Amino acid sequence: MTESRSLFGRAGFIAAAVGSAIGLGNIWKFPYITYANEGGSFVLVYLAAVVMVGAPLLLAEFLLGRHTGRNPFGAFVAITKDRPGGRLWSAFGFLPVITISLVGGYYYLVAGWTLYYCIRCVGWALSGFDLTPTEVSASFNTFLANGPLQIGVHLSFTVITGAIVLLGVKSGIERVTKIVMPLLGGLLLLLAIAAIPTPGFSEALRFLFHIGPLSADALLEAVGHSFFTLGVGMGILITYSSYMSKKQSIVRSGLLVCVLDTLVGLVACIVMFSIIFGVPEAERATAFSKSATIMFTTLPHMLFAFPLGQLLAPLFYFLVAFAALTSTISGLEMLVSVASDELGWSRTRAVLVISLVFVAIAIPTALSVGAHEGLSNWQPFGELSRGVFDTFDYTVSNWLLPITGLGLSLVLGWVVLQPKLREEFEIGHGQFKTFPIWQFLIRVVSPIAILWILWEVIGGRSFA
Ligand code: PHE
């Protein structure tokens, strides 16, 4: 481990890791894919995917990060250097650099939308909200087609993220996430309580937990989402755990992150679905397209109809913006750790250069949601994606995350000497009796699940 590496405090590490996991994936993506996949069985399969694939891989990243005390690339190099295959494996450590650069284009953009909608809702609340659902949808489309504004919202998020990461691991990331995460939990709980008396609440619970038919696509999506939401394959967890104290248990911290991340996704669903099912059935199909934009098109209208809607609407977007922020921070920190470990850059230089790269990548992305026709219709993978934004999302979720996950499971499951791993698990934990279970999941279950995903993707399937 490098001498100068600063370490998170115990709670700080949890706050940062949970903050990284909980984001748009939980509050924006999980509810809409659950809705699109008819709830119930999809949720069950998703939970199974978290337990069998997501959680073991998350533990693997924690292990790799803390053991080597390095960024993802350096970590793969360090752990495989004396093993068969040696440096070849480090390619898997480089993939997260590409992944997060693409994420820096589209994820930051959606994060910017939430910030913009928070401010917009304050305006709507002050002026007395009186728009029809159609008007709200139309105004979202106008917003998307406004190129300079799109670039502006991306830029604002990039600047805020950069400013926090610039302050460093302890005084920036740890301090901010320790304040933001409990606040986020509290706000979400408040929204869930507000949802209880609404007419859609019981139907929401039924939808979420009933057992219904399940398609193969839903299965694919469930495994894929477990990667995205936990941040597995992004290298972020490796970076954060390189700042983890040896006094802390990897197993307990890792499982806590998985549980909290899942809980937040489920509570977000309850809130969203209470809103959706509060609308009479006949109007539901027209009120809610089962699409990714639901959070910005029909939701504002519904939020304002909630008890205390004037307050809850801005609060909701504020919450989502913060959830996104603690994720964008972790993405940037990962790249900063690569630049400072591998290239010897100072934190300031790394933050500035990487943020500029994000903005450069963001320009075509921001213009591809309506402002520029060519960019919005770009289809390098044929029917599988449309536009730069969609293509980046497709590439990250369908290819980059699974491939990096495969690399992790092969390296930690088969390449590295196992007693070394068990030893690291037991530091700060005590005896890890269920090590063989983790080992089985990482050696057999994860690679099979990931190879199946890749097989389907190669065959032309895609998931959100
Ligand atoms: N886990 C995050 C989420 O669910 C995804 C993410 C993490 C994206 C870190 C970017 C950076 O939203």
What pLDDT, in 10s, does the model give residues 229-283? 999 999 999 999 999 999 999 999 999 999 999 999 999 999 888 888 887 777 7
Assess whether the C-beta atom of 231 lies below 6 angstroms from ligand 1. yes
Tens of pLDDT, residue by residue over 181-238, are 999 899 899 889 988 998 899 999 999 999 888 888 888 889 999 999 999 999 999 9
What's residue 278's pLDDT? 83
For residue 25, the CA-to-ligand 1 centroid distance in Å is 6
Assess whether the C-beta atom of 241 lies below 6 angstroms from ligand 1. no
For residue 231, the CA-to-ligand 1 centroid distance in Å is 5
Is the residue at 200 inside a domain?
A: yes
d(CA 32, CA 218): 12
Tens of pLDDT, residue by residue over 411-451, are 999 999 899 999 999 999 999 999 999 999 999 999 999 99
d(CA 13, CA 17): 6
Judge contact between 221 and 49, C-beta under 8 A. Answer: no
Q: What secondary structure does DSSP assign to 237-301, as a single string?
A: HHHHHTT--TTS-HHHHHHHHHHHHHHHHHHHHHHHHHHHHTS-HHHHHHH--SSTTHHHHTHHH
Distance, CA of 381 to chain centre: 23
Assess whether the C-beta atom of 229 lies below 6 angstroms from ligand 1. yes
Tell me how many degrees the CA angle 115-304-279 measures, rounded to the nearest 5.
120
Is the residue at 434 inside a domain?
A: no
Judge contact between 144 and 154, C-beta under 8 A. Answer: no
What's residue 1's pLDDT? 42
Q: Name the domain count of the chain.
A: 1
Mean pLDDT (the chain, rounded): 92
Site to probe by mutation for ligand 1, drawn from 34, 234, 358 as the one with most ligand atoms within 8 Å of Cβ, is 234
Is the residue at 442 inside a domain?
A: no
For residue 328, the CA-to-ligand 1 centroid distance in Å is 7
* Mean of pLDDT values over 105-113: 94
Identity of residue 97: V
d(CA 129, CA 126): 8
What's residue 4's pLDDT? 59
For residue 228, the CA-to-ligand 1 centroid distance in Å is 6
Assess whether the C-beta atom of 114 lies below 6 angstroms from ligand 1. no
What's residue 128's pLDDT? 87
Q: Residue 232 sits in a domain of what CATH number?
A: 1.10.4160.10
Is the pLDDT at 48 greater than 60, yes or no? yes
User: Relative to the CA of 324, which ligand 1 atom is closest?
Assistant: 12
Is the residue at 179 inside a domain?
A: yes
What's residue 154's pLDDT? 96
Range of the domain at 151: 10-366
What's residue 290's pLDDT? 53
pLDDT range class, residue 285, cuts 50, 70, 90: low
Is the residue at 219 inside a domain?
A: yes
Name the one residue in this structure whose structure tokens are 């599988």. Answer: 384
For residue 253, the CA-to-ligand 1 centroid distance in Å is 18
CA atoms within 13 A on the CB side of 233: 28
Tell me how many degrees the CA angle 7-9-10 measures, rounded to the nearest 5.
125
pTM of the model: 0.94
Is the residue at 400 inside a domain?
A: no
d(CA 241, CA 227): 17
Assess whether the C-beta atom of 235 lies below 6 angstroms from ligand 1. no
Site to probe by mutation for ligand 1, drawn from 18, 22, 24 as the one with most ligand atoms within 8 Å of Cβ, is 24
Is the residue at 398 inside a domain?
A: no
DSSP 261: H
What's residue 286's pLDDT? 61
